[in-house]
Structure 1
C-alpha cells in the first residue's frame, strides 16, 4: 500500500550531519558525467551523497561565475541568498569564501536568514533601475522543491532572472575544468559569516515586503476581511508572511512556521519521497486538511518561487487552472499595463490559456520550458504575465513596470487572495466559469523510458521526423520543434490538433522522456493521445 500523502517516518529522514560531511569530504570525478557540474533550467542540482553537489563543485562554480561576470563587465554588487535545505548554508559559505577572495562586492541577508528566490531577483532589478554606474547580479542557493538530500546553486545575471544557456554553459565548462585541475585557479579565503566587514548586508525581507504594495491590491484584500492561510512548507517564505500581514494589515496566518532540514513534518509525495512540491496533492496533504479553515490557503516550495492555491470549495488547484484564472483576472484588472502586453506561457502549459488569450484579444507568447525565456518581455513590459505549468509565474507591477524576472510564488499566492477579494469568487469558481465558456480540458504528464542516446536524439528532432498526419482521430495542424513565441528550439517536440496536443521532452535527471498531453474531449481521448504520442515519438527516435 502506498504511503503517498502520509506523514514522513523516521526512516524517510536524512542524516543531516552525514550529508554535511559528505559535502566536504567527497570529491567529484568530472570524467563521470553524473559528478560533473551541469546546469538545468534552474541551476546545478544534486546530492552530496551522490558526489553531485559538494564543496568542490561550489568553489569551482563560484570562481567560474566570478570570471564570467568579469568578462561581461559586471562590476556591481552580487546579491546572494539561500533556502532552508541542509546543504544551502554550507554552500553559501563556500561561495562567500570565493567571492570575497576575488574582491567581489557581495551582499547577503542582514538577518543572517533565508531568502526567497524572488526577493533576490527583486533586489538585483531594484539596484539596476536606480541609475547606478555599475550593474548587480546574484546567486540563489536552492534546489527548489527537491528532496532534503539535495542542494542547488543558480546564477541570476543583471536582468534578475535565470541565466540563459550561453552563460550557464560557459560557467559549467569552466567549473568542470577547474575541478579537473584540482581547483588550481580558485581563490578562497576564510569568511566570518555576517560579521565579516567584507560582506555587505541588506534586509531582503523588509525591502521585498515594502515593495509588494506596488503589485498587489492589499486594500481590496483588507476591505474584504478575508481569512488567509499560508504554509511555507518549511521554506524560505517562513518569516515573510507575518511581515506582510503586519505591514498591510491583512488577516494572514502562517499555518506552519516550522523549519527543519529533514522536513519531518512533510507528507510524502507520489513516489514516497519527501519533496516540497506545492502543486502535489500528496506533498500538500497536511495543508489540504485545513482547507475549510480559510477563505484562501496557499503553499510554497523551499525557495518560494512556486505557488500552490487551495480553496475551500475545490481543494488544491491544478497549476494550469490557476494560471488561466490569474491571466483572465490580471488582464482585466491592470489598466496600467500596456495594451499590447502579451501573455507568456511555456509550450507544455494548458491550451486553456490560448483560449483565454484569444478572448482577451491579447497576443500569446509561447516559449520553451524554462522561466528564463520570459525575462526580456517582463523587463520591458511587453509581456504582462509569464507562467509555467509547474506552478511558477510572475507578472508586472500595477504601473506596467517589471516586478521580478524570476518566479515569485509569494506573489501568486497573494494574487489568489486579491482575486477572491475583488471578484467575490474563489479561483476554483472562476475556473469553472472558464470551462463553461471554452470547454473543460483534461491534462496529464506521463514518463516513458529512454536511454541517454535516445534523449539526446529527442532533443535534436526536426518536424520532418514525425510522419503521422493524425493524432487521436484529428488532423495534425502543427509539428513544432521551435517555440512560436521566440523561435527558440524546444529541446523536444510538440504536436497539435484543434482538440488536443502532446509534447515530448527528455528528462534532465532520469532515463525517461516526459510526455505532456491535453485533450478538450475527455479522459478516454486523452488516453488515446498519450498512446499515440508514445508511438509517434518512439518511431521518430528509431528513424
Structure 2
C-alpha cells in the first residue's frame, strides 16, 4: 500500500546535507530564543541551530537547580532531520550539569513525553519537534512536572536564561554521552508498553477488533509508527492496516499543500489526499492519521471524506459523555476559535463549557484536575481528563476507530448532532497585513467596540479581548488574531444561519479591522 500512498510526489527533494550543515554552522547570527505556544521554532540555520538546542538545555538545567526539581528529564524528538541530534545535544548539556536523562533510542510522540511525566517516571521533558511544519523547520519545547506545555512564566524564564547563554556559549556545560552513561546519568527505558497498555483505559480495543469495518492508519512519516504497530499487535487488530511505514526526514512522500510547501498536516485535504482516496474508492471504511510528533489527528471516512477537526471534536465529545468514558468530568473545553456546536452539546448534557485562549497550555490545569470530558482545539488537537495534558493524536485516531466500530460513520454521527442542535458554517481566512496593523489589532480592547451594536444583521452580545478580538453575536461569532510568526491576520468565523451569512461576517470583520 506504500506505493499507492506515495501518490503525488514533490518535485524537489530537500538538500539534507545543506540543512545539516546549517544546523551546526548557520550562515548568520542565530535569532534569539523565543517560546511561542509550543516552544522555540524556526528554520534550520539561524532560526534553529545547535546553539539554540544547547542554550535551551542549559537554561532548563539552571531552572531545575534553582527550583530544586529532581528526577530524570526525558529528552527526545520526532522523525525530523535534526531531532535526534537536537536530543543528543540537550542530553549532553543536561548530563554535563549533573542531571539524569532518559534518552530513547527511537522517535517519541509528544503525548508520550507528557504520559511519562504524569506517571512519575520523568520530572520534565525536552522534545525536539516542529509539529506539522515544513521539513526545513525545527523546534524544541519544554514540558514541566504537570506534563503539559509550559506556561508563560516558565517559558519567559527559559527564554531569558537561554538568550544569556546564546551570547555566552562558553558557559554551557556538557559531557559526551558515553561519559554520562558511565556516570549513571543516562538511561533508556521501555516507553511503548506503558503507554499502549494505559490506552486501553480509554479505548475499547475489543470493539475495534470485532468490527467488520476496515481501518487504515497513516503516521505521516512520524513518531507514532512504532506505537501504532505495538497497538495493532497487542490488541489483535487484524482489521487495522498501517498503510505507510515510510520514515524519511525530507517527507518526500507527503503531497504538497495548497501553497507548494510540504506540511504533514492531518487536517489538510492536500497531504491527506491519498487517504481520502482510499476511503472514497471503498478500500477502507476509515482512514486516520497523526502528524510527525503525533499531537494532532486527522480522519477520512467512506461517507464523509475528510472530516473537519471541528466535526470530529463534536462527535468525540458527545460519544465520550454518553459512554461515560471520563469519570467525574463536568466540562467540555474548547479554544476561542473552535466551533460553538460544542457549547450546544455541553448544554444538552448538562456540562459546563470552558472557553480558553488559543494554546493547549490553557487546558493543562483543568485536565490535571479532571475537569474535561474533552478538551479540544480547531487545529485538530484533543485530550481528556485522566489522560495526557498534551494533545494526543494517537488517542484521537483510536477513539475515532472505536466510534466507527460501535456507532457508525463519523459523518453520519455529526449530521445527527446538527439535526438536533443546528448546522454551523465555519471558516478561517488569513488576511495579508503588515507589522503596524498587527500591533494595532493586538492592542485593541473590548472597550474599543462599546459602540458596536450590530454586525451582519445580528445583535452584538459581548466582545472578548484576551487573545485577539472575538465578537459574539446572537447566532454567530468572529475572532481576529494577529499571527505571531507571519504578517497575516487570522479571521475565524462561524454562524448557525447560512453560508451567505458566513461570508457577510468575514467581510464585516475585515471592514471593522481596517478602521
TM bucket, shorter chain? over 0.9
Q: Distance in 2 between matches of 1:454 and 1:192?
A: 52
**How far apart, in 1, do the equivalents of 2:470 and 2:176 lie?**
50
| Residues 1:382 and 2:382 are matched in the alignment | no
Distance 1:172 1:342, change over 3 A: same
- Give the drift of 1:272: 1.1
2:344 corresponds to 1:330: no
Correspondences of 1:139-538 after superposition (within 5 Å): 139-181=126-168, 183-192=169-178, 197-250=184-237, 251-291=239-279, 292-334=282-324, 337-338=327-328, 341-396=330-385, 402-423=386-407, 425-466=408-449, 467-481=451-465, 489-490=466-467, 492-538=468-514
Q: Distance in 2 between matches of 1:29 and 1:454?
A: 28
Cα distance, 1:29 vs. partner? 3.2
Q: Per the alignment, do residues 325 and 90 of structure 1 end up closer, same or farther by CA in structure 2, a change over 3 Å counting? A: same
Distance 2:243 2:326 in 1: 34
TM-score, normalised to structure 2's length?
A: 0.95
2:65 maps to what in 1? Answer: 70
**In 1, Cα distance between equivalents of 2:371 and 2:56:** 33
**CA distance in structure 2 between the partners assigned to 1:477 and 1:6 by the alignment:** 48
Contact 1:294 1:312 in 2 (8 A): yes
Structure 1 CA distance, aligned partners of 2:28 and 2:65?
26
- Is contact 1:93–1:193 with CA below 8 Å preserved after alignment? no
Name the residue aligned to 1:9: 10
With structure 1 as the length reference, what TM-score do the two structures score?
0.90
Contact 1:142 1:303 in 2 (8 A): yes
Post-superposition shift, 1:442?
Answer: 1.3
Question: Pairwise CA RMSD of aligned residues?
Answer: 1.8
Residue 40 of structure 2 corresponds to which residue in structure 1? 44
Counterpart for residue 118 of structure 2: 125
Secondary structure at the residue paired with 1:121?
Answer: helix
CA contact (8 A) 2:10 2:256 kept: no
Tell me the alpha carbon deviations over residues 27-66 of structure 1, each in whole angstroms, 9 at most, x when there is no partner. 7636xxxx121111111111124x1100111111111111
CA contact (8 A) 1:27 1:54 kept: no
CA–CA distance in structure 2, aligned partners of residues 6 and 171 of structure 1: 43
Instruction: Provide the C-alpha distance between the structure 1 equivalents of 2:437 and 2:190, rounded to a whole number of angstroms.
Output: 47
Query: What is residue 138 of structure 1 aligned with on the other side?
Result: 125
Can you give the 5+ residue segments of structure 2 that lack an aligned partner in the other structure? 1-5
Could you list the structure 1 runs, at least 4 aligned residues long, displaced by more than 6 angstroms after superposition. 193-196
Once the 2 structures are TM-superposed, how far is the Cα of residue 127 of structure 1 from its aligned partner?
Answer: 1.0
Q: Which moved more, 1:259-268 or 1:329-338?
A: 329-338
CA distances 1:377-414 after superposition (whole Å, capped 9, x unpaired): 11111222110100000113xxxxx2101000000000
